[in-house]
Amino acid sequence: MDKNIFDAIKGVALSSAAVVAMMFHPLAANQDSAEIAAGAQSKAAVSQAPKNPFSSWQEFHSVVGKCTMKFPKYPDHLSEKMRLPEEGFDLKYDAYISALDQKTVFLLLIAQYPDFVDESYARMSLEGFLNGILTHNPNNQLIFADLSLVSGHEALDFFIRTGGVYFKGRALMVKNSLYLMAMECEVQNYDEMHYNAFVSSFQLAQ
């Protein structure tokens, strides 16, 4: 993925109960490099167009998150540890980012809470996560949000629009880890098949 896309991730702020804000803008890549990448991809598409558009996606194993997921390309990795003085502990998160093209980015973020924060906090964490995203930017428009069970774990599916950009994803709480898998793209580039293929590929290690 273009380094400018990776560098455009602004950061992640978290509290003991939830992700309270997500401030990354991976689509703000340098236009020149994006056009170069787009041209290269167009030429590749002409020379070889697989019947299954997901056959070239790469399965990625996260040792930290004890999970697997398929990305369009091998993801870039960002790992940070944040000190939360009010809560009195450090919070570690790992983000894996992969660009399908210059207008569509996939993200898997794994936030690890202390052992005392477990799935009993799940609904509070997921609702706090969503509220954090919506209040961070007044231009964020919630299209829908649904709580559900995924493999026996409480999950939140959400769809947000900010101007000409869609941010769609699923947040899942497993023990003391919060998993966020999401797709961010320009509205005209939204592809439900790509999103479903990405989210459905998520598997926890047995």
At residue 86, the pLDDT reads 63
Quick: pLDDT tens for 172-191: 988 888 899 999 999 999 99
Number of domains in the chain: 1
What is the CATH number for 40? 3.40.1000.10
- Portion of the chain with pLDDT greater than 70, in percent: 68
Query: pLDDT per residue over 13-58, tens digit each?
Result: 222 222 332 333 333 333 333 332 334 344 344 444 445 667 789 9
The residue range of the domain holding 114 is 3-204
Q: CA-to-CA distance for 54 and 14, rounded, in angstroms? A: 33
Helices (H) and strands (E) in the chain, counts: 4, 12
Question: With contact defined as beta carbons under 8 Å apart, do 1 and 33 qualify?
Answer: no
Look up the pTM and report it.
0.73
* Tens digits of residue pLDDT in 123-155: 777 887 788 888 878 888 999 999 988 888 889
**Alpha helix locations (H) across 137-205?**
192-200
Longest dimension (CA), the chain: 56
Length of the chain: 206
